[in-house]
């Protein structure tokens, strides 16, 4: 079983992501904020991380900065963001983000991407 972590401060969005991934053969964990996410990452090896960019306390990028870079390399990081600017994407890539999804996103598309990543 693969492990997926969803980090988003919006409960509704977490619910949407979790529900859209429910048909996948994987365990989906949720984290409401950066601190919670770090705690979970330390406990579990996640294959995929779905991160919201804009979160209080720690942004998605800041969160990545807190995680061991080797761990990030082993994990596919998918970022959901409203920021569409080139420079934001460059910055995110440097921090270890592999894929971007622009908000609002399609749950089906998300499903497909995560499915691909899990099976990779």
Residues that bind another protein (CB under 8 A): 9-13, 15-16, 19-20, 32-33, 54, 56-57, 80, 82-83, 103-108
Omega before 104 within 30 of 0, i.e. cis: yes
CB count in 10 Å sphere of residue 39:
11
Minimal distance, residue 69 CB to another protein, in Å: 26
Minimal distance, residue 39 CB to another protein, in Å: 14
Q: Residue 117 in 3-state DSSP?
A: helix
Q: Which is nearer to another protein, 98 or 101 (CB)?
A: 101
Minimal distance, residue 106 CB to another protein, in Å: 6
Compute the distance between CA of residue 24 and CA of residue 31 in angstroms, rounded to an integer: 19
């Amino acid at each position: 079983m693969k492990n997926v972590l969803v980090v988003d401060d919006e409960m509704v969005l977490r619910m949407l992501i979790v529900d859209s991934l429910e048909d996948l053969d994987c365990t989906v964990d949720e984290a409401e904020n950066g601190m919670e996410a770090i705690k979970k990452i330390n406990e579990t090896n996640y294959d995929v991380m779905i991160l919201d960019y804009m979160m209080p306390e720690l942004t998605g990028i800041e969160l990545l900065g807190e995680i061991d870079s080797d761990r990030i390399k082993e994990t596919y990081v998918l970022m959901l963001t409203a920021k569409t600017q080139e420079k934001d994407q460059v910055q995110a890539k440097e921090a270890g983000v592999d894929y971007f999804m622009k908000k609002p996103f399609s749950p089906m598309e998300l499903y497909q991407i995560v499915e691909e990543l899990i099976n990779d």
